[in-house]
Amino acid sequence: MSVLRSYFKRKLRPKIIDYFHRFYYHSNDTWFKNTFLGYEIRQCPLDLQLYQEVVARTRPSFILQTGVNQGGSVLYFASLLDLIKADADGFVIGIDVTLTERARTLTHPRIRLFEGDSTDPAIVQQVKALVAGRTGLVSLDSDHSRGHVLKELHIYKEFVGIGGYLVAEDTNINGHPVARQWGPGPFEAVEEFLELDYCFVRDDELWQRNLFSFHQYGWLKRIQ
């Protein structure tokens, strides 16, 4: 019996989890159709639960996301700041290379949107001026190529204080375990980033109890 149990734990369990992850990710009628308060949100609900926990625990003075798309996530983050009764000057920054018409209709008073490449020094300068030395939660969800994510990690790490989170989203692509044909992406960028940066560690405990995350191995916590 214990041999069977150990076989299940070591061999079958990870296979079942990865199979479900791939099935859920690649189905047309699952997460891609999700909305938040009417705005499309390109997230797995399990990850929204984790963001909620992180925000409630760390109480960031701002939340920054690169990659806004239809705006669901920035609206979700702004609503979380409302729910935790963050200071009135707690805000959400969204950066997108092309802001969609839908995102432009967002009227939540905490949301500040910027249009441009998230690694453009002019955009970064404007964001720096806005946060004025404060630290917060950063979520990277724009161009998912290895090179771009790595650049973002290096630029935006300084916006995160000790105990705070820098989330490289969609680390599951390029076969980790979904979208096998993608090519080097966020997962590879995180690997390279952590080789040289000792201020951040992966917080895998955060997501592993839920079995998988679209950002698995990409939830980075600043420890020094």
Ligand X SMILES: C[S@@+](CC[C@H](N)C(=O)[O-])C[C@H]1O[C@@H](n2cnc3c(N)ncnc32)[C@H](O)[C@@H]1O
Binding stretches for ligand X (CB under 6 A):
41-43, 65-69, 72-73, 95-98, 117-118, 141-143, 148
Closest to ligand X by CB, 68 vs 155, is 68
Q: Half-sphere exposure of 198 toward its Cβ, with a 13 Å CA cutoff? A: 0
Q: How far is the CB of 38 from ligand X (least distance, A)?
A: 13
Q: How far is the CB of 22 from ligand X (least distance, A)?
A: 18
Q: Rounded distance, CA 69 to CA 74, Å? A: 10
Q: How far is the CB of 7 from ligand X (least distance, A)?
A: 38
> Is omega for the bond preceding 186 within 30 degrees of 0, making it cis?
no
Closest to ligand X by CB, 120 vs 201, is 120
**CA–CA distances in Å: residue 149 to residues 39, 41, 156, 217:** 25, 20, 10, 14
Q: How far is the CB of 47 from ligand X (least distance, A)?
A: 9
Closest to ligand X by CB, 72 vs 90, is 72
Closest to ligand X by CB, 75 vs 86, is 75
> CB 187: neighbour CB atoms within 10 A?
24
- Using CB atoms, what's the residue nearest to ligand X? 67
List, as one string, the DSSP characters of 69-83. TTSHHHHHHHHHHHH
**Type of residue found at 110:** R
